[in-house]
């Protein structure tokens, strides 16, 4: 996105639960900011919403769910409901030839108990941009 250039974003909730998308560090009105405690309505399952916004300030951002997953390590943020957002400055977008985003995420979570009754989340798989280490058999 370009700073200050109006964008229309459609979000479809394909999950089975009410969802909401937070846009941290963007200057947005509370009804679309994505924090339900500040007034953004939840998106019902199977529904879509359309937001119009003028992205600001510039920089690397991300968006993510603000739904509380509780102990369900497959829901919300645990389920990978996040993404990247690059807002290039209105003027002087910089001198680079490539921008590379890396998303590290853990999957297949479950709780394992400690001797003191405390439960720790443990994951089966870790990925970078959705790929496990060794996904590509050859590099270079």
**Rounded Cα gap, residues 51 and 33, in angstroms:** 10
Residue 20 binds Cu ion (CB under 5 A): no
Tell me the window of 7-15, 17-25, 67-75, 129-137 that interacts with Cu ion (CB under 5 A).
17-25
**Rounded Cα gap, residues 36 and 70, in angstroms:** 16
Residue 83 CB, nearest approach to Cu ion (Å): 13
SS3 assignment, position 62: strand
**Rounded Cα gap, residues 81 and 60, in angstroms:** 17
Residue 66 CB, nearest approach to Cu ion (Å): 5
Closer to Cu ion by CB, 24 or 89: give it. 24
Closer to Cu ion by CB, 26 or 73: give it. 26
Tell me the window of 19-27, 40-48, 100-108, 115-123 that interacts with Cu ion (CB under 5 A).
19-27
SS3 assignment, position 103: coil
Q: Is 15 exposed, middle or buried (0-12, 13-18, 19+ CB in 10 A)?
A: middle
What's the half-sphere exposure (Cβ side, CA atoms, 13 Å) at 65?
A: 20
Number of residues in contact with Cu ion, rule: CB under 5 A?
2
Residue nearest to Cu ion (CB): 22
Closer to Cu ion by CB, 36 or 86: give it. 36
**Rounded Cα gap, residues 75 and 67, in angstroms:** 8
Residue 33 binds Cu ion (CB under 5 A): no
Residue 22 binds Cu ion (CB under 5 A): yes
> Where do contacts with Cu ion occur on this chain (CB under 5 A)?
22, 24
């Amino acid at each position: 996105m370009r700073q200050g250039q109006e964008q229309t974003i459609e979000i479809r909730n394909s999950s089975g639960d009410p969802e909401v998308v937070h846009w941290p560090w963007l200057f947005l009105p509370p009804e679309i900011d994505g924090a339900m405690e500040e007034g953004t309505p939840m998106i019902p399952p199977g529904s879509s919403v359309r937001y119009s916004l003028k992205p600001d300030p510039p920089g690397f951002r991300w968006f993510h769910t603000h739904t509380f997953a509780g102990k369900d390590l497959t829901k919300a943020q645990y389920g990978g409901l996040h993404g990247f957002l690059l807002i290039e400055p209105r003027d002087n977008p910089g001198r680079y030839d490539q921008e590379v985003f890396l998303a590290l995420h853990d999957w297949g979570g479950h709780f394992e108990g400690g001797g003191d009754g405390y439960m720790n989340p443990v994951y089966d798989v870790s990925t970078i941009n959705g790929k496990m280490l060794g996904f590509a058999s050859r590099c270079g």
